[in-house]
Amino acid sequence: MIENGSDSQLFEEVVRPLLAQGVSVRFQARGASMSPAICDGEVVEVIPAVVTALQRDDIVLAKTNHGFRLHRIVFVDHARDRFVTRGDCGQENDPALTGAQILGLAWAKEVQLGRNVVQAKFRGVSGWMLRSAARAQYLATKLLQTA
């Protein structure tokens, strides 16, 4: 694990070859741009992306001119190999990306339910239910602590 901030070069040296070989990677997300879907410090699993299968609302790991971003696709033009992303908390779109800049697809994140840590997928109803239950549990705990 990389401590005290991000080291983009080391991150890329580890993550890019693994995803290129078809291996999924897990890492701790940093920043609040994707909150509440992905909060600072949450562990996210990214799988290799099939660029031709990417669609609007997918969350992708991309290398941009400003480093690595884990943002949601808001516009897709497969014919022109153009993808536009934005953080869920963002007011403005990120600069357009090409498929070559997209390293992977965010598949799931780890959430705590009771004493168990489980994977909640970003696609499908079951993942949505797990993420919602974990969020409700977190909020209930916070509420009880202040009471």
Q: Where are the domains of the chain?
A: 8-110
In angstroms, the CA 49 to CA 26 distance is: 14
Task: Say whether pLDDT at 124 is over 70.
Answer: yes
In angstroms, the CA 121 to CA 107 distance is: 6
What's the predicted TM-score (pTM) here? 0.84
pLDDT, tens digit, 9 for 90 and up, residues 56-96 = 999 999 999 888 999 999 999 999 999 999 999 999 999 99
Q: Which of the four pLDDT bands, split at 50, 70 and 90, describes residue 135?
A: confident
Q: Which CATH number fits domain 8-110: 2.10.109.10, 3.90.1010.10, 3.30.930.10, 3.40.640.10?
A: 2.10.109.10
Provide mean pLDDT across the span 5-27: 89
* pLDDT value of position 6: 55
pLDDT, the chain, mean: 89
What 3-state DSSP class applies to 30? coil
In angstroms, the CA 85 to CA 97 distance is: 8
In 17-66, where do the E strands start and end?
25-28, 43-48, 59-64
CB 93 within 8 A of CB 85: yes
What 3-state DSSP class applies to 132? helix
